[in-house]
Structure 1
């Protein structure tokens, strides 16, 4: 049967429509499905397991969509790696239904903070708040803030801002006119309303780490108190009321102890955790000497600053405490060398008996992990291992793929028309 002109047009339209359906159906499935294909063994993120931290995550596809292009909802975790199409450190969000999305990071921006409910990502330095459920981003804070930790209620953020001069000024006789190093400000900010308050925690040349108390009425901050201490890598720990600026106590940590990260405060409020090491300290240590350090977690009384309890040995790769499972600290470990290409981040729970249980494993090349506070608080670990969907791509990629299809349909239509015009007419 010959195809008339009308039939040719209808065939072309049907072919185009079918092609677009083929292209768009996987994308819609990837975006809206509550079941995500997972690792070997057939594990999957389902409605009953959504909202649980995956036990293992994988590198995204190079064409994976960003949060801004296709929002996937609140985060179950975010890890950071340079194995993306940006070839720079990039946040990789795994949503609570197992979907993967990218959070591009600007050069020298650093890694941001996940809100306790997993719905927002606060960017350092720029003061921008990214809504992970809508993909919209807005600047709510003054630039220059380096955030340390969200408050337990998710309304405030504890951070620091440098006051150093950007340049050194010289007089006509080449004499230095200014000291560029100024004490930093410790701040409590509201990233939703855009307000900020300076915390009177004493003078610090820099703040290296800070943590909220479980009730949110006190903060602990550590760092070098002056320039000499900064050079010698000596730190001081201070506990202060952020609202009234009432200093509760302070203690010198020396050069071998430091605050153990954003979740350093024990959940019962009685103790504060420190990371401590034995071995060579200071800028003069060789890489070999640094590698032989032995590390542990120590505790100080939250009301006095005095050492309490028995230390807990940890791996040299332990970088911070990110949460607690009952009374056991959940730590981040980043193994490998200084070359980011072979580093790998994991979260592990440590018991007082010396047992170590790996809870989350990120891919090789990962340098940091973040889990929302609500999932950490209820120790929601052990979830399935979702794989990134190759169909969760940016919309522009589907447009690019549609162009060859349109060309193919056009060529097919032209070919069929050519055959029709070349065919002999009846009775010729």
Structure 2
């Protein structure tokens, strides 16, 4: 090596930064490695959470229930999870059925909608609203206004429904009949405490396509009102039960200027339900109480069916007696009326009314009272399919965010535990308290 080269190397050595001690370099390397591992763990958690939130759902094609034979009503339906997705956030229509549950975050009742894909959605409604009713094709939900279960949009009616009793849909799901109570169902009293007659309650026809509302009749009191459409949807039988007195069953042709026809019924007779009209359009079913008047709450109440001939008004009784439970005929299947029987304990059973009694159908649902099945499925679908339960992954966004927050510290905790274990393994302590 020449003297000049030696001099250059010496000068470079003098100008170079000092090399840190080996112990400092090792500490910096471990710190950098921990940061990379922590960042990778957090990135994995966020990726998993994002995948759960935006995971593609099972196909929810717009099904035409009637006549397909492909859509199945389950034999049982379980309660939803508290964190279940909501109808407003992610609609799942058309739906198979709806039922009311008290298993909700706001400690109030909520409506559970089970879609064609067996997915669950919760609908939190305002307190005091009238019960919502599902259209026969599972597309619409009608309470005060009309909601599209496929798009999730609400269609305001020309006049909002305000009745205590659910509206009733026509078999084709194009129209429904409901009630508007001008005074809200309140009773007015005079200066001497006498009860005042308020304005009559209105029966109105709702058009699903336009949201239009048209008055078709009035009742003095519609708090115990019922209705049923004829099979073609052009005629409606309406009945407002009296309080222990005779009442009138009114038959209205919605497209005719002719005055409505009326049939007087006793306090022990009432319209059998929203599907009380027979499939041939010739008769209307009545539920005839055998123990006491409807609403009198006598123990062991039983009933049987009666048929009113629409043309003549003649009433005939069936031979079967002694059926129990409060009935509501909701569909027809294979020529037999399908009824939901409500018990005193608020339990519900769906049965076929046979000439000799009842036949229980393989349909049960959790919740409060009777489930509201899409009528098209009750009449044409397959009954008694496998029971379904809600998916725990169909959750609202905040549930995923909560999981991420709870799981985020786990990689750091695991890393710290691992470091302490490795440190103990590398520096064992002897019996005298000192490392060997």
Global fold match (TM > 0.5) = yes
Identify if the C-alpha distance between structure 1 residues 140 and 281 changes in structure 2 by more than 3 Å, giving closer, same or farther.
closer
Name 2:372's counterpart in structure 1: 370
Question: What is the aligned residue count?
Answer: 386
Question: What is the SS of the residue equivalent to 1:359?
Answer: coil
Mapped contact 1:272–1:300 kept (Cα < 8 A): yes
| TM-score for both structures, normalised by structure 2 | 0.78
Show CA shifts across 1:241-271 (max 9, x none): 1123423521111100101111111112111
Matches of 1:89 and 1:315, distance apart in 2: 30
| TM-score for both structures, normalised by structure 1 | 0.79
Name 1:152's counterpart in structure 2: 171
Question: What is the SS of the residue equivalent to 1:247?
Answer: coil
The reply on whether 1:259 has 2:279 as its aligned counterpart is: no
Identify if the C-alpha distance between structure 1 residues 21 and 134 changes in structure 2 by more than 3 Å, giving closer, same or farther.
farther
Mapped contact 1:265–1:271 kept (Cα < 8 A): yes
Structure 2 gap ranges (5+):
1-25, 61-67, 422-436
Show CA shifts across 1:112-149 (max 9, x none): 111222122112xxx33222223333433423443421
Question: What is the SS of the residue equivalent to 1:158?
Answer: strand
Q: Which has the larger radius of gyration?
A: 2
Show CA shifts across 1:139-180 (max 9, x none): 33423443421122222111111133757475xxx4679934
Which of residues 114, 118, 127 in structure 2 aligns to 1:94? 114
1:152-231 matches, within 5 Å, as 152-164=171-183, 166=186, 168=188, 174=191, 179-200=196-217, 203-206=219-222, 208-224=225-241, 230-231=242-243
Name 1:227's counterpart in structure 2: none
Q: State the shift of 1:94 in Å.
A: 1.4
The reply on whether 1:329 has 2:337 as its aligned counterpart is: yes
Which of residues 31, 39, 62 in structure 2 aligns to 1:13? 39
Question: What is the SS of the residue equivalent to 1:404?
Answer: helix
1:380-395 matches, within 5 Å, as 380-395=382-397
The RMSD of aligned alpha carbons is: 3.4
Question: What is the SS of the residue equivalent to 1:20?
Answer: helix
Identify if the C-alpha distance between structure 1 residues 13 and 122 changes in structure 2 by more than 3 Å, giving closer, same or farther.
farther
Structure 1 gap ranges (5+):
36-47, 225-229, 338-342, 420-428
The reply on whether 1:239 has 2:241 as its aligned counterpart is: no
Name whichever of 58-67 and 250-259 sits farther off.
58-67
Name 1:318's counterpart in structure 2: 326
1:41-80 matches, within 5 Å, as 51-80=71-100
Matches of 1:325 and 1:142, distance apart in 2: 35
Matches of 1:334 and 1:81, distance apart in 2: 16
Q: State the shift of 1:60 in Å.
A: 1.5
Matches of 2:70 and 2:44, distance apart in 1: 33
Name 2:137's counterpart in structure 1: 117
Matches of 1:282 and 1:297, distance apart in 2: 14
Which of residues 285, 296, 311 in structure 2 aligns to 1:303? 311
Q: State the shift of 1:384 in Å.
A: 1.7
